[in-house]
Amino acid sequence: MTRKFFIGGNWKCNGTVDEVKKIVCMLNGGEVPCPNHIETIISPPFIFIPMVKSCLRTDFQIAAQNCWTKKGGAFTGEISAEMLKNLGVPWVILGHSERRTLMHETDQVVAEKVEYALSQGLKVCLCVGESLKERECNETAQVVSRQVQAVAARVGCWANVVIAYEPIWAIGTGKVASPEQAQEVHYNLRKWIDCHIGCQVAQDIRIIYGGSVTAANCKQIGGQPDVDGFLVGGASLKEEFIEILNARNTHTHKTC
C-alpha cells in the first residue's frame, strides 16, 4: 500500500494575534497538493487553537502540542484529551523532545499520554529521537526503538499514530540529518516494528522526519523510500512552508 505523505507544522511557543493572522492568511492562500496526496496538520499553541481553527482552510487539520495523561480534573495548567476532542481538535503531538528534555517527560509518561489520547479518539503524532551523544555512541536505533516500545506496551492499534523521527541534535539547530541518515533510521525503525509489533503496522505506519527541514532540503529527504513526510518547526512559521508542502508535488490546489 502507499502511505499518504504527511506534513506537520509545529509552531511551538510562538506567535501573537497579529502574527497568527498573517500565518493563517499565508496558509490559506498557498497552492499545495490536494488532500488525496497529502495530509497536513498545523499545531499552534493551545491559546490560539480556537482562532486558527475558525479561519484555517479545512484541508489543514489542527493538532495540539501536548495533552494530559488522563481525564481532566484537579491538574492546574493542563489540557485534557477530552477538551481537545470537545473543541474538534483531531490530532495531538506527543513526546516532542523539548517536552522530554525540558519538562522531563519519560518514555512512560509519553506512553501514558499516547494511550489516553488514542482512547479518547484523538490521532497522535508520536515524536522519538536520539541526542547527539547517543548518536555518537551508536545508540540511535536502540533509543528510538525503546521509545516506541514504551508505547507498544500500552497501545495495540497503531492506525491513528504517525511516528516523527526527530534527532534532537537537528531540532532548531540548522543541522539537518542527511537524506541517508534519515532513511537509515526510518528503515531500521520500520524493520523493528515489523519484528516487534507486526508486519502490517510496519507497512502502513507513516514515519516522518523532523529537524531543521527547509525548502532547500525537503525534496531530497522527502524522496527517501521510508520517509513519509516531515514535522517542521521554525520553517512552518514562514512562507517557505508552502514550498515544503509541495516537496512531493503532484497536483496543487488552493482553498481560501
Q: Where in the sequence numbering do the catalytic residues fall?
A: 96, 166
The CA distance from 203 to 16, in Å, is 40
Identity of the residue, 44 or 211, whose beta carbon is nearer to ligand PEP in the bound complex: 211
First to last CA, the chain: 32
* Separation of alpha carbons 5 and 35, rounded Å: 10
Check residue 233 for interaction with ligand PEP (CB under 6 A). yes
- 84 vs 208, which CB is nearer to ligand PEP? 208
Please identify, among the stretches 25-33, 45-53, 148-156, 233-241, the one whose residues bind ligand PEP according to the rule CB under 6 A. 233-241
Q: Does 231 bind ligand PEP (CB under 6 A)?
A: yes
- The three-state secondary structure class of 129 is coil
Eight-state DSSP code of residue 3: P
Q: How far is the CB of 47 from ligand PEP (least distance, A)?
A: 18
Please, are residues 7 and 15 in contact by the beta-carbon 8 Å criterion? no
d(CA 154, CA 126): 14
DSSP assignments along 227-255, one per residue: --EEEESGGGGSTHHHHHHTTT-SSEE--
Instruction: Between 10 and 224, name the residue whose CB sits nearer to ligand PEP.
Output: 10
Q: Residue 83's CB: how many other CB atoms inside 10 A? A: 16
Q: Which residues contact 110 (CB under 8 A, 6 or more apart)?
A: 94, 95, 100, 126, 147, 150, 151
Of 166-185, binders to ligand PEP (CB under 6 A) are: 166, 171-172
Residue 15 binding ligand PEP, by CB under 6 A: no
Site string for ligand PEP, 50-69 (x = CB under 6 A): --------------------
Q: Which residue is nearest to ligand PEP (CB)?
A: 233
Which residues inside 197-216 make contact with ligand PEP, applying CB under 6 A?
Answer: 210-213
Residue with cell 537524506: 179
Name which of 193, 194, 184, 197 is nearest 227 in CA terms.
Answer: 184
Closest distance between ligand PEP and the C-beta of residue 253, in Å? 25
**Binding segment toward ligand PEP, per CB under 6 A, in 99-107, 164-172, 198-206, 244-252:** 164-172
CB of 214 to ligand PEP, least distance (A): 8
Binding site for ligand PEP (CB under 6 A): 10, 12, 166, 171-172, 210-213, 231-235
